[in-house]
Amino acid sequence: MELQFFKYQGTGNDFVIIDNRQQIFPKNNTKLVAALCDRRFGIGADGLILLENDNMADFKMVYYNADGAESSMCGNGGRCLVAFAHYLGVIEKEAKFNAVDGLHHATVEGDIVNLKMIDVDKIHEKQNHSFLDTGSPHHVQMVKELEKFDVQKEGKKLRYGIYGESGSNINFVEQTNDNAFDVRTYERGVEGETFSCGTGVTAVALAMHESGKTAANEVHIHTIGGDLTISFEKKDGKYSNIFLKGPAIQVFKGTIECSV
């Protein structure tokens, strides 16, 4: 089977995207998803996303991690899918789409996609870290000298160590300003460090606000792959109107022969 694909990146978090409005993609073939995401034998990506029709929204997002398993929400992937929907002409400047964690709204302006994330009402604050769900589960931990930190080794240890088989994504953070942080993320399902994680930086912004590290309602996050801005409101202990904003860019498109 020959498959048409598009490759997108959002601050270096990269995705294979397929237009599946005609249900052409074998959705239960985890080996095929993993093969397409493989950086040596496939196209190469942190995840694969299907754009599908939806009765209640402009489109539906189906997200798989690079290991081939369908997973929870991907913030950067959501932003890239909105850019793809705009490219296809499915939306103009505004989008409403369904994802595994519910309905999302987004706007597109040039290469910049601003994506509304789910509300967050629980942030578990532990001795040296926070844990919260921003559509995907995230551990947030401050470290010193982030640039030299062994994200692969420490991330892997915590991913299984604290969170068991289902695991969590692990974010390491260093504050650089009143409202600015550097972040590096170990992603479950990729089982390694990615250049950026959208639900991860959202979790970091909220956790830093909750713990009093910042009083700002707009937080700037620098990742290896680029810069993202998270804005939000807090009322009665609940975070709402959470927006994740940054670039989402088409890198290339092509066809690939699928034999898996």
Ligand X SMILES: N[C@@H](CCC[C@H](N)C(=O)O)C(=O)O
Which segments are annotated as binding site for substrate? 13, 65, 75-76, 169, 187-188, 198-199
Question: How far is residue 131's CA from residue 181's CA, in Å, rounded to a whole number?
Answer: 17
69-77, 105-113, 115-123, 228-236 -> range binding ligand X (CB under 6 A): 69-77
Decide: is 199 part of the binding site for ligand X (CB under 6 A): yes
Q: Does 65 bind ligand X (CB under 6 A)?
A: yes
Residue 107, classified by CB atoms within 10 Å of its CB into exposed (0-12), middle (13-18) or buried (19+), is middle
Under the binding rule (CB under 6 A), the answer on residue 198 touching ligand X is yes
Residue 125's Cβ-side half-sphere holds a number of Cα atoms within 13 Å equal to 9
Q: Does residue 98 touch ligand X according to CB under 6 A?
A: no
Q: 197, 205, 208, 219: which one contacts ligand X (CB under 6 A)?
A: 197
Active site residue 74: yes
Q: Which of the residues 130 through 169 are near ligand X (CB under 6 A)?
A: 136, 169
Mention every residue, 6+ apart, whose C-beta is less than 8 A from residue 37.
16, 43, 44, 45, 46, 47, 48, 64, 66, 68
**Token pair of 201, please?**
């930086």
Whether 197 is a known active-site residue: answer: yes
Counting contacts by CB under 6 A, is residue 171 touching ligand X?
no
Residue 72 makes contact with ligand X by CB under 6 A: yes
Of the residues 9, 14, 49, 75, which one makes contact with ligand X according to CB under 6 A: 75
Total interface residues for ligand X by CB under 6 A = 19
CB 13 within 8 A of CB 256: no
Q: 134 vs 179, which CB is nearer to ligand X?
A: 134
Burial of 153 (0-12, 13-18, 19+ CB in 10 A): exposed
Tokens of 79: 């932003």
219, 208 contact by CB (below 8 A)? yes
Sign for the CA dihedral angle at 32, 33, 39, 42 comes to positive
Query: Which CB sits closer to ligand X, 91 or 228?
Result: 228
Select the residue interacting with ligand X from 86, 129, 156, 188 (CB under 6 A): 188
Contact between 13 and ligand X per CB under 6 A: yes
| Residues found near ligand X in the complex (CB under 6 A) | 13, 65, 71-72, 74-77, 136, 169, 187-190, 194, 197-200
